[in-house]
Amino acid sequence: MANKRKMHPLAVTFIFALVLLTVTFIVLYAFVGVRYVNDKTHELKFVGRVENGVAVSGRLYYYDGRTATLDAENKTIEGKNGDIYIGALSGYLPHGKGTLTKADGTIFEGDFYEGYCTGNATVTYTNGDVYIGATDHEIRDGFGKYVKKDGTVYQGEFRKGEKNGFGITSFANGAVYIGQYVNSIKEGNGAYLFDDDDIYVGEFSADKRTGRGIYVWSKSEEYSSEFDSLFNVELNDEFKSGFLAYFEGDFSRHFIDGDKTDATTVNPFFQTFENILLRNQIEFYIGEFAQNELSGKGRYQWLSGRVYEGIFENGVIVQQITE
C-alpha cells in the first residue's frame, strides 16, 4: 500500500491562517459589529464598528485619497490631513450643527448637510476675514455678509464663492458702492459714494465707470452728510427692484434731452438724488463715461449755474454741440 502524501508545511500554514481570518471576521461581524461600507453616493468607504445600524467608530477612506477617524461618541471626525469636525452626525457624515476646522486654519461654524458645510454658516479665514451667510459645499453661495480685516464690508449676493448679483460694499476709507457685481467686479448699474463725498450714479463695466452716468461733485459740507445718508439703505428686494427700475425707466431719459425727469419709483435713494439734482448750488455732469473718465456726449453744470453741453474726451471738453 502506497504511503499517503503529506501536505506541504506552507499549505498547512496558509489554510490555518485562512481559517483564523475567517473566524476572526465572523467574530468581529457577529459580536463586535465591525462593518465595511462602500458609499458611492458620498464617495467614501467606511470600516468600523456599528451598533443598531449606526456607525460608532472606525476609519473613513475618501475616494480623493483622504482618510479620517470617526468617533461618534465624542461627535468628532478627525482627518489625517489635520481637518477636525465636531458636531452633529448622521452615521459617519457631518449633518446638522457643527464646526469644521480645516488644516489651514479656516473655520466653518453652522449648518452641515451630508458631509459638507451647506446652509447658514460663519466662516473665519486665516487672514482675519469673516463671512456670515449662505454656503453650499463650503463655498459662499446665496445672500451673505463678508467683512474684511481692513474693515471693508460687503452685503449682498454670492454665487460660486464670488460676488454675483446685487450688493452694497462699504469700504474702509468711507466710500460706498451700491449696485451689481459679476465675479466680484462692478458690472452693470450702480451708485458710488466716494470718500470725498462725490457721488456717481450710472453704468459700470470691468470695475470702471463706463456707459451712461451722472457725477455730482460735493463742494460744500451742507451736502456731504446728505450724500452719505443716501447710502444708508436696507438691502432688501423692494430696494433692489426700485433701484433697477429707475435705470430701466427715468434714468435713461436724462440722456435724451439733458433735463431732469421725475422718478417713477418710490425708492428713497433716487427720490433724494433727484432733489439734489434740482439745486443750482451743485456741480454735476450728466452724460457718457469711458474708463472712469467723462467721454462722449454730456452736459456739465458748474456751481454758478453755467451749463455746457457738448462732447467730452478723457474728461476734457473737445466740441460744443450747437442746435
Q: Is the pLDDT of residue 223 over 60?
A: yes
Residues facing residue 123 across a β-bridge: 108, 131
The residue that leads in pLDDT, 277 or 73, is 73
The residue that leads in pLDDT, 180 or 244, is 180
Tell me the mean pLDDT in the region 187-199.
92
Amino acid 28: pLDDT: 44
The residue that leads in pLDDT, 277 or 126, is 126
What's the mean per-residue pLDDT of the chain? 85
Q: Is the pLDDT of residue 201 over 70?
A: yes
CA distance 255 to 257: 6
Tell me the mean pLDDT in the region 215-229.
78
- Look at the alpha carbons of 82, 88, 91, 95 in this order and tell me if their dihedral is positive or negative: negative
Q: Is the pLDDT of residue 259 over 90?
A: no
Long-range contacts of 42-46 (CB under 8 A, 24+ apart): 42/93, 42/114, 42/115, 44/92, 46/70, 46/92
- Compute the C-alpha angle 99/104/130, nearest 5°: 60
Amino acid 24: pLDDT: 52
Three cell numbers written together for 162: 464670488
Kindly report the three-state secondary structure assignment for every residue of the chain: CCCCCCCCHHHHHHHHHHHHHHHHHHHHHHHHCEEEEEECCCCEEEEEEEECCEEEEEEEEECCCCEEEEEHHHCEEEECCCCEEEEEEECCEEEEEEEEECCCCCEEEEEEECCEEEEEEEEECCCCCEEEEEEECCEEEEEEEEECCCCCEEEEEEECCEEEEEEEEECCCCCEEEEEEECCEEEEEEEEECCCCCEEEEEEECCEEEEEEEEEECCCHHHHHHHHHHCCCCCCHHHHHHHHHHHHHHHHHHHHHCCCCCCCCCCHHHHHHHHHHCCCCCEEEEEEEECCEEEEEEEEECCCCCEEEEEEECCEEEEECCC
Q: How confident is the model at residue 277 (pLDDT cuts 50, 70, 90)?
A: confident
Q: How confident is the model at residue 218 (pLDDT cuts 50, 70, 90)?
A: confident
Q: Alpha carbon of 194 to those of 99, 173, 212, 218, 322: distances in Å?
A: 39, 9, 18, 10, 33
Amino acid 3: pLDDT: 57
Please state, for a pLDDT cut of 70, what percent of the chain lies above it: 82
Amino acid 222: pLDDT: 65
CA 281 to chain centre: 41
Amino acid 140: pLDDT: 98
Q: How confident is the model at residue 27 (pLDDT cuts 50, 70, 90)?
A: very low
Q: Is the pLDDT of residue 72 over 50?
A: yes
Amino acid 263: pLDDT: 57
Tell me the mean pLDDT in the region 6-11.
58
Global confidence as pTM: 0.84
Nearest to 173 by CA among 192, 152, 156: 152
Tell me the mean pLDDT in the region 135-153.
97
pLDDT in tens, 31-70: 445 888 899 999 999 999 888 888 999 999 999 999 999 9
Tell me the mean pLDDT in the region 109-125.
97
Most confident range (mean pLDDT) of 28-32, 251-255, 271-275 is: 271-275
Tell me the mean pLDDT in the region 135-149.
97
pLDDT in tens, 149-166: 999 999 999 999 999 999
φ/ψ (deg, to 5) at 276? -65, -40
CA distance 50 to 170: 52
